[in-house]
Amino acid sequence: MGDSLSHGSDGDYTWRYRLARHFAARGAPVCFTGPWTGTRAPPRAHRAPPHPHRSPPHAHSSPVGGCRPGIGFPGDRHYARWGRLMEEARRNIADAVAAHRPGHLLVALGFNDLAWGVSGPDRLLAHVAEFVGLARAARPDLRFLVADVVHRTPLPSLPHLPGITEAYNARLPGLLAALSTPRSPVVPVGLAAVYDPYADTYDGLHPGVAGEFTIAKAFADAFFPDLVTGRRFP
């Protein structure tokens, strides 16, 4: 579950594909689930998608983008959209978990909340706690992998963003530890420490090929040894 970093653009491989390939190569019994497939459609074809749990089935005819031609990603299911906010996702997560019954919930949200001024660190942390509680209510044994917020290359219009991102990331592991239970663990995924906005992105934020591998590795290593795949991500 995520925003543009997880959704991708038409023609991308996506880090979701990189992670799926990693698990498939090691025989791990992984099946991606969620209401949506693909990536963001090209701008000339793009229309805002309907909410999957509040719209009639015929509303899902909006065009979507594809992954890189020829790669083959038959299990491409997800719940990620460009512009996604944790502030919004917490309202929908219980319905999504009830409908799609994931065993593990991979979450990479929060950048837009901070960058767009929707939430500061305190409010975003509160929304993360609410998100976990609502998702867990729909499936009490759900396992969570929750990423911190990546840094982007500096923007003159957002001089405060690095500071509030650091403040949020510093407190997130403690919150996740407090939310974790033996039946429903909440595992932190440290993206910010490994995601280089200069080397891993094509625009200062969104992952290029190197960034896709960086994000996939961070999530794969967070699974280890929960899913025993023989070795960590190469």
Cα diameter, the chain: 48
Taking Cα atoms as reference points, which of 112, 9, 18 lies closest to residue 73?
18
Alpha carbons 195 and 6: distance in angstroms, whole number: 14
* Confidence (pTM): 0.85
3-class secondary structure, 108: strand
Where are the extended beta strands (E) located within the chain? 104-107, 143-147, 186-189
The answer to whether residues 197 and 178 touch, using CB atoms and an 8 Å cutoff, is: no
Residue 207: both structure tokens together: 């992952």
* DSSP secondary structure, 184-212, as one string: S-EEEE--TTT--TTTSBSSSSSB-HHHH
pLDDT in tens, the chain (234 residues): 999 999 888 768 889 889 988 888 888 777 888 998 878 777 664 445 544 444 333 333 344 544 444 555 556 788 999 999 999 999 999 999 999 999 999 999 999 999 999 999 999 999 999 999 999 999 999 999 999 999 999 999 999 999 999 999 999 999 999 999 999 999 999 999 999 999 999 999 999 999 999 999 999 999 876 554 445 545
**Distance linking the first and last C-alpha atoms of the chain:** 24
Q: Name the residue ranges covered by the structural domains of the chain.
A: 4-223
Give the H or E element holding residue 124: helix 121-138
State in words which class domain 4-223 has.
Answer: alpha beta
Q: Does residue 107 contact residue 48 with C-beta atoms inside 8 Å?
A: no
Cα distance between residue 92 and residue 52, in whole Å: 9
Helix, strand, coil share (%) of the chain residues, nearest 5? 40, 10, 50
